[in-house]
Amino acid sequence: MLDQATHRLQPLLHDLVSTVLAPTTALSGADGQIRAAGVQGLFHADARALSQVTLAVDGREPEAVGHADQAAGRTRFVSVVRWLGDRIADPTVRVDRTREVAPGRMAELIEIASTATHPVSATVTLDLSCDFASIDLVKSGGTAAPAPASAAGDGSLEWRSGRVRVRATGENATAEAHDPAAASPAVGGRLRWEISLAPGERVTLRWSVVIEDPGAVVTAPSKPLEWSVPQVTADDARLVRLAARSLEDLRSLRLAESGEPEETFLGAGVPWFLTLFGRDSLWAARMLLPLGTDLAASTLRVLARRQGTHVDPASGEAPGKIMHELRRHEHGHRRLRLPAAYYGTIDATPLWIGLLHDAWRWGMPAAQIEPLLPALEAALGWLGDHADPDGDGFLEYIDSTGHGLANQGWKDSGDAVRFRDGRQAEPPIALAEVQGYACAAAHQGAALLAAFGREGAGRWLDYAGTMAGRFRDHFWVGAGNGYPALALDRDKQPVDSLTSNIGHLLGTGLLSQGEEARVAELLGAPAMSGGFGLRTMSADDGAFSPLSYHCGSVWSHDTAIVIAGLARTGHHRPAAELAQGLLAAAEGFDYRLPELHAGDSRDTVGRPVAYPAACRPQAWSAAAALTLLHAAVGLYPDVPGGKVLLRPLAGAPLGAVTVRGLRVAGAEVTVSIDRSGRAEATGLPPGLVIDGP
């Protein structure tokens, strides 16, 4: 049995309601109450501003009957007060609580309506507390002592910690500060209203909280939305609902660095990762390219400004390397201690190159690409000079500090790299998908260098050409046709588990057509695709567990990346099967796809099972909806080459789909797929020719 005094558990998230407009987030119960427990609270940037916000009527909490997300940053909670009003079965006093979050603030409108046949009077209170707990302390299961509140005569309460100031104000309310030594020390203060309602009358109470935090490293962007908002019509209504919900979530996750508010990127996810993450921000921007290149351009610039310049083992920095994550200060818990600017990622650098290349193909102007070419050359230089420390021709990683990430691919949990029999691999680790990213980046970098008259394209074409043969010799395992291993371990032995990682190799240039067909066959088999999406590990492997973070769960972005690879390489049947699984998951999670969910079989459970600590919303999970649409309509532009490939999923397995408002080189494009799979694209910019499939 775990000793709770020494082993703190990460708080669970799956049943909480998040209301977000980055960098501010409210996490509450389904009843709208924010209780002093777990990860509930109002967070700004990387700290908790309010740890308790509980509403009561005559000292009792209203009874919840439902809630609905209304838009980015706005949620409505409905409850009833059955001890007031007429003594009949139907409730006659109702409370509608609309919460609206904006950067650095939260406001609530509390409407209390009576249909009772006689007048109703009550005392309404709002108990508030603030603990200024850091997000990493909360994530580790830790707690912080409540801070003392001060009350003012204008109906306001205030808390201070260093330069951070939190001020809550109730319109026409009385404010009371509580003595921290009192019987309920968790409550820092109270806002109070006395109300009276005649039959059929409604009263509206308003209160708000403002957070001043000059030390935050992230802020709200200063520019309008960077992408188009497409109109989607489809036979499958799930596609329409998922796209609408996901676009609202993506809008709510927009961030900028505090010193550069005009440059937008997507924060990785709520609540743990609402900051700049190289890998996550890059993938999300890449998935949104069908809606325009502006987000990609700003994400590329933000990361280029923080590109590594020297070797620093403590932070993982190296010349040309793209960073992993940005925080206010050193963070982590137990063994893990990461510096504020941390570079412990093996894949962000080739993914940065891939985003630059793909944005160019979608029509990112040359005037935006040319200033990034020195960063491209530096990133390629990292591939050749620092990513392969032992010179065996593969990208690999090891945490030499003892307090950094043990695994530095997208599956970055400590036990993610396992052999087929369940044994854990020892570092240094060379991941399969990272070799694919590097091979693709070498091709992509060479194309950009050649197109813009820079030297070095030949070197990177040679690099990519030799990597494919080397990968085949060292990574392929198993009898018969075999399959690519997950990784090579410290002894250069292939880690022979069957995982979703190999789906990321599709279309990278690392596999032959026959090898891609074999990978598609394996990923389409029930052991991998029998859940609500693609399992991270085969159900036949020794380490498989449906609720393992990376060894059997389903990640929405991972499934979407593989769907995109399957569709692009012509393996439409397994792509459609995985798309159906992900749409079923979306339906089960009210169209807000979580960071991950359990890998249980669709034949065993009737709906997806939550992974209890998964972030929602999550940028690349929300962006996965756009990848589904993109795969369905199959629009693949090559603006520099003057052509567009139109290749939808064969046979229209998702039914008829029309997407209006795609963007190619700034032009608004409409693509329609009828029920037979016939495709039509209109609105393409002049000079682009539709190529055959």
Contacts of 344 (CB under 8 A, 6+ apart): 315, 316, 324, 338, 397, 399, 404, 405, 408
The predicted model gives 251-264 an average pLDDT of 96
Q: Residue for token digits 């390397």?
A: 321
Contact between 13 and 616 (Cβ < 8 Å): yes
Kindly list the distances between the CA atom of residue 307 and the CA atoms of 50, 90, 318, 371, in Å, as whole numbers in the listed order.
35, 62, 9, 14
pLDDT at site 692: 62
pLDDT at site 445: 98
pLDDT at site 1: 44
Answer yes or no: is pLDDT of 8 > 90.
Answer: no
Q: Residue for token digits 């890059």?
A: 282
Bridge-partner residues for 107, per DSSP?
100, 208
Answer yes or no: is pLDDT of 186 > 60.
Answer: no
Residue 218 identity (one-letter amino acid) = V
Kindly list the distances between the CA atom of residue 97 and the CA atoms of 205, 471, 482, in Å, as whole numbers in the listed order.
9, 58, 58
Bridge-partner residues for 237, per DSSP?
none
Express as a percent the part of the chain with pLDDT over 70.
Answer: 97
Q: Rounded CA gap, 568 and 439, in Å?
A: 17
Answer yes or no: is pLDDT of 216 > 60.
Answer: yes
Contact between 379 and 320 (Cβ < 8 Å): yes
pLDDT tens digits along 301-334: 999 999 999 999 999 999 999 999 999 998 887 7
For the chain, what is the mean pLDDT? 95
In 15-70, alpha helices (H)? none
pLDDT at site 427: 96
Contacts of 19 (CB under 8 A, 6+ apart): 25, 26, 28, 69, 73, 74, 75, 99, 100, 101, 106
Q: Rounded CA gap, 501 and 499, in Å?
A: 5
**Other beta carbons within 10 Å of 103:** 18
Across 381-402, b (16+ Cβ under 10 Å) vs e yields bbbeebbeeeeebbbbbbbeee
Answer yes or no: is pLDDT of 491 > 50.
Answer: yes
Q: What phi and psi, each to the nearest 5 degrees, are found at residue 122?
A: -160, 160
Q: Rounded CA gap, 432 and 497, in Å?
A: 11
Beta strands 24-28 and 689-691, pairing class: unpaired
pLDDT tens digits along 81-118: 999 999 999 999 999 999 999 999 999 999 999 999 99
Residue 226 identity (one-letter amino acid) = E
pTM to 2 decimals?
Answer: 0.96
The predicted model gives 684-689 an average pLDDT of 94
Kindly list the distances between the CA atom of residue 90 and the CA atoms of 78, 94, 202, in Å, as whole numbers in the listed order.
15, 11, 18
Contacts of 237 (CB under 8 A, 6+ apart): none
- The pair of structure tokens assigned to 608 is 């997806």
pLDDT tens digits along 441-454: 999 999 999 999 99
Domains of the chain: 17-216 (2.70.98.40), 219-673 (1.50.10.10)
Answer yes or no: is pLDDT of 646 > 80.
Answer: yes
Q: Rounded CA gap, 303 and 350, in Å?
A: 13
3-state helix, strand, coil in the chain (%, to 5): 25, 30, 45
Bridge-partner residues for 266, per DSSP?
254
- Ranges assigned E (strand) in 179-311: 189-197, 202-212, 218-219, 231-234, 254-257, 260-266
Kindly list the distances between the CA atom of residue 23 and the CA atoms of 11, 73, 393, 582, in Å, as whole numbers in the listed order.
20, 11, 41, 28
The predicted model gives 122-147 an average pLDDT of 95
SS3 634: coil
CA atoms within 13 A on the CB side of 183: 0
Of the candidates 14, 38, 27, the residue with the CA atom closest to the CA atom of residue 612 = 14
Kindly list the distances between the CA atom of residue 207 and the CA atoms of 30, 99, 422, in Å, as whole numbers in the listed order.
20, 10, 54
